[in-house]
Amino acid sequence: MSKFNELFLSFLFLFFINFTNYIEAKEETQSYKQHSSYWDSVQDNLRVALDISTRAAYNSNVDDMFYTQFIGVDLHKVFSSPQKGDWATVVLQLYATRIDWPGSMKPFFFNRNHEWKFVPRITTINFTGIPGTQGSFNIKIGHFELPFGLETQYDTNGTLHDYMHMSNLGAKVDWGFTINGVCDKWEYETGLSRGSGIDFDSSGHPWLITGRAGHSFNKVFQAGFSYLFGKVKNPPAASLYRSGLSAGQLLTDSRGLDGMVKRYRLGFDCIYGWKKWTFQGELTCGEDFSQNVCNNLVEVNWQNGMSEWLFYSQVLNFNQDFTSGWDSAFSSKLGAQWTPDNRWELSAQLEQQISNFFNASRATIITVQGRARF
């Protein structure tokens, strides 16, 4: 996406917020005279924060440091009226991201190793006031988190603590729309998106259909089923696929040369809480091109009563049936997060790669992050 398009998209979202607030304030003034001014209406059900964080990581494989900085605006606004109640929710997370990464290990959506880039996170409008639905049928438009697996149950944007979206699906957020809702103890979301991730990029004609349906059995146990299929822009996975081809196959098989991966996934996830402990896991199986894939994650975490401290341990396992046969990669993570209030957060994580595909060297990765919100 060009810089002009990125700025234009941001302008459209800001215009929508101000226009709908104007309509909302006008309606309420005419009917109930509840607001003394337009700006009173703007501030109703509005949360805005300046979010600043810095991250440093050490990778033993390259014996070097990786630095990432984030600065952005995080806005959450609920639109409502006396006649309709809550009818739309806007989430606007617009960030400038700076990387200083050595070698060729930069994220594929960055062009250089030392670069500032506009990186929108969740940037959506969710229309929740459709008549007669009572929240069971909503329409979300924008740059949304892919509804798949454990990631949908937590807000992990900007944190070290995350799950398998990037490594398993190839994207965490994407441009498109979803339908979503809550029906009794069921919640669901399914959507169609561009398949290009951070940037809206139609080259290679990517596309994705994703969805998840979850059920809360009681206060301590919930589970969900997820699906994904389409063609996703994912150069690391495309490169991994081609690494498993023989010399002869490299001459005849052009799949993955454009960084696109034809992919499908079916997944199951569950969460069980016991006192201050949470036990959770995710299992996904599917294909990348015609190669079978099976990935899983298990996590145990502990939080104190005020959610000030979080400690977690994860084991991740990735398996793929390459041309040469099945191969696997294992890694484990230990992490801690301290959040004394909603303005500050300090976190650290130790990741140990136990094995890698094709017997590649194993790395120890130590990451620390400081975050402030005003």
pLDDT one-digit tens code per residue, 216-231: 999 999 999 999 999 9
Residue for token digits 């209030």? 341
The rounded distance, in Å, linking the Cα atoms of 314 and 332 is 6
pLDDT tens sequence across 114-158: 999 999 999 999 999 998 898 899 999 999 999 999 999 998 989
Q: How would you classify residue 151: left for phi > 0, otherwise alpha for psi between -120 and 50, otherwise beta?
A: alpha
Distance separating alpha carbons of residues 83 and 69, to the nearest angstrom: 44
Whether pLDDT at 32 is above 50: no
| Residue 322, burial from CB neighbour count under 10 angstroms (0-12, 13-18, 19+) | middle
d(C-alpha 179, C-alpha 144), whole Å: 12
Is 6 a residue whose pLDDT tops 60? no
For the chain, strand residue ranges (E) read 46-59, 64-81, 85-100, 114-127, 138-145, 173-183, 186-193, 207-216, 221-233, 260-274, 277-288, 291-303, 309-322, 325-341, 344-355, 364-373
Superfamily of segment(s) 3-373: Porin (2.40.160.10)
Kindly state the average pLDDT of the residues 93-110.
92
Q: The tokens of 187 are what? A: 């919640």
Q: pLDDT-derived band of residue 8, with 50, 70 and 90 as boundaries?
A: very low
H/E run at residue 238 = helix 235-243
Pairing of strands 186-193, 207-216: antiparallel
Q: Which two tokens stand for residue 220?
A: 């301590």
Is residue 179 within 8 A of residue 138, CB to CB? The reply is yes
Tokens matching residue 307:
């959610």
Alpha-carbon separation of residue 316 from 209, 222, 296, 330 (angstroms) = 24, 21, 6, 6
Q: How far is 274 from 272, CA to CA, in rounded Å?
A: 7
Two tokens, residue 177 = 């729309």
Q: What element of type H or E holds 27?
A: helix 3-31
Give bridge partners of residue 285 from the DSSP assignment: 266, 294
Q: Which of 288, 286, 304, 305 is nearest to 296 (CA)?
A: 286
Supply the pTM of this predicted model. 0.86
For 342-373, give one letter per residue: b (16+ CB within 10 A) or e. eeebebebebebeebeeeeeebebebebebee
pLDDT single digits (tens) 254-285? 899 999 999 999 999 999 999 999 999 999 99
Closest CA to 261 of 176, 320, 175: 320
Residue 235 pLDDT greater than 60, yes or no: yes
The per-residue pLDDT of the chain, averaged, comes to 89
